[in-house]
Each structure stands twice: as structure tokens, then as C-alpha cells.
Amino acid sequence: MVRTKGPVWEHFQIISNNDNPHPHVRCKHCSKEFKRAIPERMQDHLNKKKCYQELNNTDSQSIQQNTTLVIGNSNNLLSEEEKKFLEYLLSKVLSTSFKLPNREIVTMHMDDNSDTTFSGIRHLGHCYQHGIETEKNEIKAFELYKKAVEKDDIYSIYQLGYCYQHGIGTEINEIKAFELYKAAAYRGHVISTYSLGKCYENGIGTEYNAKKAFGLYEEAANKGHIISMHNLGQCYENGIGTKINEVKALELYKESSNKGHLDSLYRLGECYFYGIGTEENKLEALELYKEASNKGHLDSMYQLGCYYYGMGTEENEIKAFELYKKAAEKGHLDSIIQLKQCYQYRIKTEEVEIKVFEMYKAATDKGDVISIYNLGKCYENGIGTEYNIIKTMELYEKAAKKAILFQSASDKGHLDSLYRLGECYFYSVGEMNAIKAFELYKKAADKGHLDSMYQLGQCYYFGIGTEKNVLKAIEIYKEAADKGHINARTILKNAYNN
């Protein structure tokens, strides 16, 4: 008698021994393998949510796909060398599945009648792009994606756009990237819909359009795209393309964090810490920071370190230091700065600092805004290079101009660059200019940057760069305090006591 397979089998891929009632299987969601498939164990694996996907990289794929790689008449587009490589991959994966960096589980079969399926060429491009079973060759990868696009492979349209956006195997061309994302999104490709939203939000290859960005994130989120859920939460939290709705933002962060998105888990912690969309709950925030930190989220490690350091006990300062050190070793810039300030520990971070400096310098050369800002911080703090205030201000100004151009509140690096440039002018680091400092604080404060709100309050209170206006200062302090700014709360408390 043949047993009917239950619903749990839909979540697993059979790797070998198809006729065996207990074959070797792999979870479609997290790739965990069970050499002997037992439905109870498989169901237990799913019930306990052991198969969450960690999505630290916002450009990684959030939905795992099962793909059949069809090789047939389509390979007449390939060179002899490429055909041989594709045949080698076929022989390698016929007995087991092949996992690519985008979380696709790939099986292959021959189909001599196929002249429309070009996933084989696309996956060959993936192998060259990421150096899988061959030397990394981004130019060859780019050319293969182009061949697949010529034959209308939708995923390759997205992949080619990604190459143009990031300069993979070709020169950066943001306009072409935008056009390709748009073409694939129009045909229902979810990741392209998300990428198109990013283009509109950040002015990549098109004019900034917050409403369009919001609509595209919403469309992709409704189709289950986890990163889009997170970005939609940011839109609601910061009023990007829609009215501010902190409760809705909180709900979206919860939903995407439950599906394994670590940035959402961190933002959920921030919501509880500062009372965004919910009542302030420091203990709940601490637990969320811990959870994200344990899963490798660097901002959470840093935030948890700050939390412990603020407690003031020797034991917790050691905990804080350990967290800063762990994040710093993985290149987290703010943690490196904190470590340098922990001079009593005499920790050597020179090797890490140089790597971080070179990483941000390379990304800055490609126009990445966050990296431009972080490179400025490197020059300001002497991280991996000599202290250079002129370079610092040049880089902050470059990043700040992008902030003004895009008017985007979701990109923290844009706002921090406005704030840090204001600090340079405010504290006479380089050229003293109180009016410029005031203007920069105001621009960042208007977009919700808390430290800038506080500094703007200081400007009004003391008449720095503007006319003195104590009532206006108190109003701004109150707004910053309500959103969790500690110094603003202290000033208000002292004012009321006096």
C-alpha cells in the first residue's frame, strides 16, 4: 500500500532515494537536511520555527525558491567553455540539490524541446558572479545575464539591473538599473518591485518620489517580501510617502521580525526603548536587543553595549566592552570609536581599523552615501588613517547634500551627515560658522533626527546662529524628550525644578 504524503512534505525537498518511504530531505526554508525523513520530526522542525531566515543584507533574497534548471536548445547561446561548465554543474547536482547565494535550491534536468527557458544561463552567471565551482568573473557573469535577458528571462532582468546599479562586471549606470527594475516589476517580479521602491526613495536613476516608493513597498510587502515589510514600517514611522502611523510601523516591524528580519527586530527594540507606537518598555527593548545581538546584528550589539555602559557598574562596563569589541571586530564603526575611548583596556584595533577604512573608501568611490558619511567619521576619529578635519568636513558635506537632495528620512546616514557637519561648524572644528550650524541642525531636526532637535533647542536657547527664543527652545526640547532624548529630558526636568 502506498502512503499518502501529508502537508508537511510540501515544505521539504527530496534529495535522494525517492522511492524510499523515509528519503533524504532538505527544508525548503532553511536548508536543514534530514537523512531519514520522519514526518513528526519534520513538523516539529517547522512548528518550533527553527527555519527562520536571517536577512542582514538588504539586497539578499527574502523568499526562497525551488527552481528547475532546464538545459536544452537554449544553450546555443553559450560558448563551448560555458557549455562544458554547465554540463559539469549538471553532473554535480543531478544526485543532490545545489544551493546558490540567493537561497535558491536548484535541480537540473535535460529538456531538448526547450528554447524558452534560460535559467541555466542565469545560474551559470550566478556561479561566475560568486565564484561557485569556478574562479569569480563578474564580467562573464554580466554577459551571461545579458544573454538571458535577450531571451526574456525575468529574473535575469532584475539581476542585470543589480549589476548596473552596483557596477558588477560593468560601469555603474543607475538609469539603466532603474529601467530594468521597472520592466521586471511591471511583470510581477517581487524583488524588482522592492528595488524599484528603493530607487524612488533614494533617487537612484530617477527623481525622488516618496509616494511611489511607499506604494511599491506596500505592493511587495503584500506579496510576502520581508524586507519590503520592514521598509514599509520605516515609511509609516517617518512619514515617507504617507502619514506618520507609529502603531502601524510597530505592527510591520513585529511581522517582519517574526519572519527572521534582524533589522526589524532591532527597530522593534528601538520602538519599545523610546515608546514609538507603544508604551515605553526598557526591559522589553533590552530583550529584543539581546535576541538580535545573539543572532549577529551589529547595531544591536552596539546598542546593548551602550545600555550596559550606562548602568555604571564595573560588571556591566565589562559586558559593554565585550559587545563593543565583538561588533568592532566585524567592522562596526561606532563600536570601534567606543573601543578607542575605552583606553584603559589598551585594546589594539589597528588591523580592523585599516580594513574598515579601506572598505568605506572603496564604497565611497562607488557613490554609496552611508559609506561617504562613515569615511568622514574615520577621518574625524583617526580610524585606519590620520586625523584630517578638512577631509572630514568635505565628506560630511558631500553626504549632507545628498540628504537635502533626496529629502529622505529613512536613511540615517543622510541625517547623521547633516548633524555631524553642523557639529563641526558649531564647535569650531575647522571653520566656525554658527549660522551654518543652525541651518544644518534645523534641516536634520525637521526630518526627525533627535540629536539635531536637541542642538536646535540649544541654538534657540542661547541665541546661536539665530535670535534667542527660550519658548521655542523649550518646545523643541519637549519634542525631543517625548521621543526619548535623555539630555533634552534632563534640561526640561531642571527647568521645571527651578
Q: What pairs with residue 107 in β-bridges?
A: 68
Comparing C-alpha atoms, which of 120, 183, 101, 116 is closest to residue 151?
116
Take residue 79 and report the three cell numbers written for it. Answer: 560558448
Q: Are 411 and 369 in contact (CB under 8 A)?
A: yes
**Residue 253 clears pLDDT 60, i.e. is over it:** yes
Contacts 24+ apart (CB under 8 A), 335-341: 335/298, 335/301, 335/302, 335/305, 336/383, 337/377, 337/381, 337/383, 338/302, 338/305, 338/306, 338/309, 340/381, 340/383
pLDDT of residue 105: 39
Secondary structure (3-state) at 300:
helix
Summarised one tens digit per residue, pLDDT across range 198-223 is 999 888 899 989 899 999 999 999 99
Helix (H) or strand (E) run with residue 432 in it: none
Structure confidence at residue 22 (pLDDT): 75
Percent of the chain with pLDDT over 90: 27
Q: Average pLDDT in the 428-451 region?
A: 77
pLDDT score recorded for residue 83: 63
Q: How far apart are CA 257 and CA 300, in angstroms?
A: 14
Query: How do residues 393-410 score in pLDDT, each as one tens digit?
Result: 888 777 766 655 444 433
- When mean pLDDT is compared across 3-12, 263-272, 433-442, 472-481, the lowest value belongs to 3-12
- How far is 452 from 458, CA to CA, in rounded Å? 10
Q: What is the pLDDT at residue 52?
A: 38
| pLDDT average, residue stretch 366-378 | 73
Mean predicted confidence (pLDDT) in 343-372: 66
Average pLDDT over residues 458-481: 88
Cβ atoms of residues 449 and 460 within 8 Å: no
DSSP classification of residue 184: H
Stretch 234-238: mean pLDDT? 88
| pLDDT score at 124 | 83
The reported pLDDT for the residue numbered 96 is 47
Query: In this model, does residue 472 exceed pLDDT 80?
Result: yes
**Range name among 205-209, 388-392, 412-416 with the lowest pLDDT average:** 412-416
Domains contained in the chain, CATH given = 7-47 (no CATH), 66-261 (1.25.40.10), 432-498 (1.25.40.10)
The model's pLDDT over 21-72, given as tens digits with 9 standing for 90+, comes to: 777 776 655 556 677 777 777 777 766 544 533 323 334 333 334 444 444 4
pTM of the model: 0.60
Q: Is the pLDDT of residue 231 over 90?
A: yes
Q: How far is CA 361 from CA 247, 350, 352, 357, 373, in A?
A: 38, 16, 14, 6, 10
Mean pLDDT of the chain: 76
Decide if pLDDT at 95 tops 50.
Answer: no
Position 77 scores a pLDDT of: 60
